[in-house]
Amino acid sequence: MKTHHDLRELLNRIDHRGYPAYKDTRGSYQFDKYVLSIDHVQGDPFAAPSKVSVHVPGKTAGFPADLFEVSHKRIALQDYLIRKFSKEVESCTFKAKGSGKSGLMSVSRCGQEILERTACEIQTDGKVVVRMEIGFPANGRTINSRELIKILFEFLPGCVKKSLLYASLDSKSVQKNAELAEDQYFIRQELPKLGLAAFVANGSILPRESGVSDRPMRQAVAFQSPKSMEVTLQLPNHGPITGMGVKQGITLVVGGGYHGKSTLLKALELGVYNHISGDGREYVITDDTAMKIRAEDGRSIKQVDISMFINNLPNKKDTRKFCTEDASGSTSQAANVVEAMEAGTKTMLIDEDTSATNFMIRDELMQRVVNRDSEPITPFIDRVQELFAQYGISTILVAGSSGSYFHKADCIIQMDHYLPKDITEFAKKEADAFPIPNEPAPKSHAPSLDRIVKADQGFRKNDRIKMKTQGKDSVLINRDTIDLRYVEQLADTEQLVSLGHLVKYAQLRVFDGKRTLSEAVEELCRVLGKDGLAGVCEGSYVPGGLAMVRKQEIYACLNRYRALRL
Ligand code: ADP
Ligand code: MG
C-alpha cells in the first residue's frame, strides 16, 4: 500500500497545476494510525466536495468488543463517534483556504435520534470507518495542495486521534451511552410481552424548544403517568423505571385545545427511534412498527384496495384497485391506512388536527339526513375495533372535538395542563348515557394488495441516474419527485438520501415484473439487514450521508413514487 509519504510527494508535485490533476490522488494511503482512502475527487472547487474515508484498525481504535458486539450497542457507539468526530471536524472546517468549497471538512450532522449511518461503521473486528467530505483547496481553479496538506496531515489526524480512539475518549461517558442503548432496547423488547403499544417514562420531557429546534423545551411540565396506567420496568442498567404504559387496543387522547395532546402523539411517533441522552424522550418508546396516519390531499395512489373504507363512488371508480394522481383528504387517509397494514404496522397514530373529518366520523344528524346508501365512506370509527380484533392493529388517536370515539375506545386519556389523566371510567359512563345509533358497518374483506412491480426501462446499470433530495421534503429520481413532506416519521434528511438509493437499487435489481410490491420491499429489507446501507449503494465506494430507514418508510416512499410501474 502507498503511504502518506507517497501522498505528500504527489501533492507537492501537482501544486499549482490545473484542478483535474487532483484526480491522481484517488487511492489508499497508510498513515500512522489509520488508512486514509480518497474515494472520489471533485471535478472542480465549486462542485460537491471530495469523498474521503478513514479506516482505523480495531486494535488501534481499541474499543472493547462488548461495546459493539450486538447491533443496538454498535449503532449507539457509531452514533457517539460521529458526534464526537463531527465536533472536532467543525473546529477545522474552512481553516484551510481557497476558492469555492476549498477547505470544507464535514461529516453527518446528527439530530436527536440515534440512527445507523454510513458516516460511521464499526466492523465485526472493531475496525472503525468514518466517511466524510473534504473540499480540496484551489485558488481559482489552480490546485493549492499546501492547503490540502494542512488538512490531511494536520487537521484530520488531530480529529481522528481525539475522537475515534477509545484511549482518548471518556470511557465513563462511552459506557453510559452503551447502557442507555441497552435499556432502550430492553424496553422495546418488553412492550409486546406486556401487551403495550408504547411506554412513556415519568419525568420525560415531550415538547420541543420550537418549531425549528428539536431540543427539549426548557421549563416544560415533566410527564407523569396517571396511577392507573403506571407500569414499572426493571431496566438492566437504569434499574426500575416507572411510566405510562399504553395498552394495545384503542386509546383515545382528548382534552382542551393547547393542553398537549399533539405533543404527546408526536413523541410517540418518534418513539420508534431511540433518542440521545439529555433529549427528554430517552425512555419514550413506541412499538417500532407504528405508523402515523394522516390525510394527504394531492398524493398519488396506485391500485390500493381502499374498499374497507370507500365504496360506490359516484364516478363508478373501482375502489378495490383505487388509482388517482390527486387524492382527496378521505381517499388519501384511507390509502394511508391500507398501506400501513401492508407495511406490517401494529400501531396506528392519528391526530385529528391532520385528519379528514369525513374519514374519521359521521355524526348522528348527518347519518339521518344523508343515509348510508348515498355515502361512499365507511368512516374509520366504524372500522377501528375491527382493525384490532381482526388484524391486531392498535390505534392511538387524538380527538379533542368529537365524543363519538368514547364508545369505541378501550382507554381514554385526557391531557390536562400537559398531564395525562385516565378518564376511561367517567367518559364511558357519560357515553352510555348518550347512545349512538349503531348501524352495523358494511362487511369488509382483508385488503388485497398483490401489486406486481415492473422495472422502468429508463433505468440501466451504466446510466447516470440523477438523484437529489430536498431536505426532508422530497427525493428526486431522474425526472420524478417523490413528495415525502407528510411522511412525518422521517426524522433526518439522510434518510431521504437512503430512500433515493433504495429506489434506484429497486429499479435496477428488484423490480422485475414478477415480485409484488411487498416482496420487493422484503428483498430491500433483506439486503439492508445483510449488508446495511452499503448494500444498496451502486458504485465502487460507499458514500457517507445515508441514514437507516424502517421498512415502513420504504413502503411510504414507494407508495408515493408516481413513476412506479405496476
Ligand atoms: P393540543 O394538541 O392539545 O392543542 P399541543 O400539543 O399542540 O396542544 O401543545 C400546545 C403547546 O403547549 C405547544 O406549544 C407545546 O409546545 C406546549 N406544550 C406541550 N406540552 C408541554 C409541556 N409538557 N410543558 C410545557 N409546554 C408544553
Ligand atoms: Mg393538537
Distance of CA 411 from the midpoint of ligand 2 (Å): 19
**Closest-lying ligand 1 atom to the alpha carbon of residue 257:** 4
pLDDT of residue 199: 98
Residue 21 vs residues 11, 35, 94, 358: alpha-carbon distances, Å: 10, 22, 22, 64
Take atom 11 of ligand 1 and give the residue whose Cα is closest: 258
Query: For residue 159, which of 239, 81, 74 has the smallest C-alpha distance?
Result: 81
pLDDT of residue 270: 98
By the 8 A CB rule, do 521 and 554 touch? yes
**Closest-lying ligand 1 atom to the alpha carbon of residue 260:** 6
- Write out pLDDT tens, residues 10-65: 999 999 999 999 999 999 999 999 999 999 999 999 999 999 999 999 999 999 99
Looking at the CA of 260, name the nearest ligand: 1
Looking at the CA of 220, name the nearest ligand: 1
- Write out pLDDT tens, residues 383-423: 999 999 999 999 999 998 888 999 999 999 999 999 999 99
Residue 444 confidence (pLDDT) above 80: yes
By the 8 A CB rule, do 182 and 68 touch? no
pLDDT tier for residue 506 given thresholds of 50, 70 and 90:
very high
Of the listed ranges 157-171, 196-210, 394-408, the one predicted with least confidence: 394-408
Overall average pLDDT of the 155-172 stretch: 98
Distance in angstroms (rounded) separating the CA atoms of residues 449 and 267: 31
pLDDT of residue 297: 96
Take atom 7 of ligand 1 and give the residue whose Cα is closest: 262
pLDDT of residue 11: 98
Whole-structure pTM value: 0.96
Distance of CA 264 from the midpoint of ligand 1 (Å): 8
Q: Strand runs (DSSP E) across 14-168, as ranges?
A: 27-30, 35-40, 50-56, 105-106, 113-114, 120-122, 128-134, 138-139, 142-143
Distance in angstroms (rounded) separating the CA atoms of residues 291 and 346: 8
Residue 364 confidence (pLDDT) above 80: no
Report the mean per-residue pLDDT for the chain.
95
Overall average pLDDT of the 90-98 stretch: 96
Distance in angstroms (rounded) separating the CA atoms of residues 40 and 380: 51
C-alpha grid cell for residue 241? 423505571
Distance in angstroms (rounded) separating the CA atoms of residues 496 and 79: 18
pLDDT of residue 316: 82
Residue 277 confidence (pLDDT) above 80: yes
**Closest-lying ligand 1 atom to the alpha carbon of residue 415:** 3
Greater model confidence, 299 or 456: 299
Ligand 1 pocket list (CB less than 6 A): 206-207, 217, 220-221, 255, 257-263, 415, 418
User: How many C-beta neighbours within 10 Å does residue 484 have?
Assistant: 22
- Write out pLDDT tens, residues 323-336: 999 999 999 999 99
**What element of type H or E holds 209?**
strand 208-210
Take atom 20 of ligand 1 and give the residue whose Cα is closest: 260
Query: For residue 112, which of 241, 246, 271, 222 has the smallest C-alpha distance?
Result: 271
Residue 439 confidence (pLDDT) above 80: no
Distance in angstroms (rounded) separating the CA atoms of residues 390 and 20: 63
pLDDT of residue 438: 67
Distance in angstroms (rounded) separating the CA atoms of residues 248 and 198: 8
Distance in angstroms (rounded) separating the CA atoms of residues 270 and 198: 11
Distance of CA 351 from the midpoint of ligand 2 (Å): 7
pLDDT of residue 443: 87
Which of 263, 418, 419 should be mutated for ligand 1, with most atoms under 8 A from CB?
263
Distance of CA 90 from the midpoint of ligand 2 (Å): 37
Looking at the CA of 352, name the nearest ligand: 2
**Closest-lying ligand 1 atom to the alpha carbon of residue 351:** 2
Residue 440 confidence (pLDDT) above 90: no
Distance of CA 95 from the midpoint of ligand 1 (Å): 42
pLDDT of residue 441: 83
Distance of CA 418 from the midpoint of ligand 1 (Å): 7
- Write out pLDDT tens, residues 97-152: 999 999 999 999 999 999 999 999 999 999 999 999 999 999 999 999 999 999 99
Query: For residue 52, which of 32, 83, 25 has the smallest C-alpha distance?
Result: 25
Distance in angstroms (rounded) separating the CA atoms of residues 112 and 222: 18
pLDDT tier for residue 269 given thresholds of 50, 70 and 90:
very high
pLDDT of residue 314: 81
User: What percentage of the chain exceeds 70 in pLDDT?
Assistant: 100
C-alpha grid cell for residue 563? 413513476
Burial level of 242, CB count in 10 A (0-12/13-18/19+)?
middle
By the 8 A CB rule, do 505 and 538 touch? yes
- Write out pLDDT tens, residues 514-523: 999 999 999 9
Looking at the CA of 224, name the nearest ligand: 1
Residue 458 confidence (pLDDT) above 90: no
Distance of CA 256 from the midpoint of ligand 1 (Å): 11
Which of 258, 264, 269 should be mutated for ligand 1, with most atoms under 8 A from CB?
258
Distance of CA 456 from the midpoint of ligand 2 (Å): 41
Contacts of 39 (CB under 8 A, 6+ apart): 26, 50, 51, 52, 53, 131, 540, 541
